[in-house]
Amino acid sequence: MENEKGVRLNKYLADAGKCSRREADRWIEEGRVWIDGRRGTLGDRVLPGMKVTIAGDRVKRQSKPVYIALNKPVGIVCTCDPNEPNNVVSFIDHDRRIYPIGRLDKDSEGLLLLTSDGNIVNRILRAAGRHEKEYQVTVDRPVTPEFIREMESGVKILGTTTLPCQLKKTGERAFTIVLTQGLNRQIRRMCEALGYRVKTLRRVRIMNIRLGILKPGQWRNLAPTELSELFRQLDRADEERNERA
């Protein structure tokens, strides 16, 4: 059916790994996208054989997006900007155009997802989805019951109070924490607000995707079973969000 009706122009650009659908809409409105020699519009559909270009360069839709789990080392920056010498895309050096889903601080390590599928990026990043992310943390002071209680109930940072979270002590100065939001340097700021300093921080899970045995710098393609469960959770979150709207 898709071949008969074509695919929406913004989805075509996202599937090609050029940008997210939202970014594609902006590019189309700015007149940067052309189809068969004419300016594209937001309602356009791309049929087989049509030529799509951006600034004169042809765009080809990829039939099978790639989904990657990376154990990001400390020092690697979650950006596609080639002006950043330690950008994560150059670090992986994949033969497809990929970009990171979300961020992980330069001083942190652990699980980072990357993809050529622009459609999935915003779905995972939507705060309303309340998608879980799990981290292993060490700090410079003993973890006390009071610290755990305050972290779990919410800490005032960046002009707001963080959402309730789950925290489990794993050592005298270590704990795991599960967040459902992604404020800038959230865990570090939460700890600082309570008089603690983070020494190491490693993300070990995003939704159902786990870091597993990947060593720093190693990456792998997501397994079909992982992708099926990931999309199932995203579909459920989208349904719940639509019901609340």
Q: Which residues are catalytic?
A: 105
The rounded distance, in Å, linking the Cα atoms of 233 and 23 is 24
DSSP state of 73: P
The rounded distance, in Å, linking the Cα atoms of 69 and 218 is 9
Tokens read off for 190: 């939460």
Closest C-alpha among 48, 50, 21 to residue 34: 50
Cα 27 to Cα 21, 24, 55, 117: the distances in Å are 10, 5, 11, 17
CB atoms within 10 A of CB 52: 21
Q: How many residues does the chain have?
A: 245
Cα 142 to Cα 45, 100, 145, 153, 198: the distances in Å are 59, 34, 10, 19, 12
The rounded distance, in Å, linking the Cα atoms of 126 and 102 is 10
Closest C-alpha among 209, 179, 100, 109 to residue 187: 179
